[in-house]
Homo-oligomer: A and B are copies of this chain.
Amino acid sequence: MDRTATFNEFLREKGLKNTSQRMLILEAFLNSDSHYSTEDLYLKLRQENPKIGYATVHRTLKLLAESGLAIELNFGDGQARFEPVHEAEHHDHLVCTKCGLIIEFEEPRIETLQNEVAKRYNFKIQSHRHELYGLCQDCAKKA
């Protein structure tokens, strides 16, 4: 299932409608390689489609984030940015030191920060390990 279909299914499940604006915004967003703020994407869309509204772009980006197709990033410049979530997202682990339970987690924002760190040192990442060790919910309760 491609991402347009994924989004359509998301809309259907939520009882929302598939509109031409949403499709335009989705397409523009998916074809981006950078991190768009609402403003950025709005201005880009305006070039082709002068009657699209800022509020619609904003609302659609929120929906995309909710559907999992986008993640919302905050670099602390007071402007939210949205990034497409790519397939093959990998996960990291929480490991319980008492019972051995392993929980997989995904946190794209950590990935972003890793990339930022690597960039800081002109380092080219090939892979990574990231494990959090501690007590799971049950073991913490018993302790």
Q: Which residues of A contact B (CB under 8 A)?
A: 72, 74-76, 80, 94, 96-97, 103, 105, 107, 109-110, 113-114, 116-118, 120-137, 140
The quantity of this chain's copies bound in the complex is: 2
Pair A103/B121 contact, Cβ less than 8 Å: yes
Pair A134/B126 contact, Cβ less than 8 Å: yes
Residue in contact with A94 in the complex, picked from B80, B123, B131, B140, CB distance below 8 Å? B123
8 contacts between A and B (CB under 8 A): A94-B117, A94-B118, A103-B123, A107-B116, A110-B117, A122-B140, A123-B137, A130-B130
Find chain B residues with CB under 8 A from A72 CB: 76
Bound: A49/B75 CA distance, A: 33
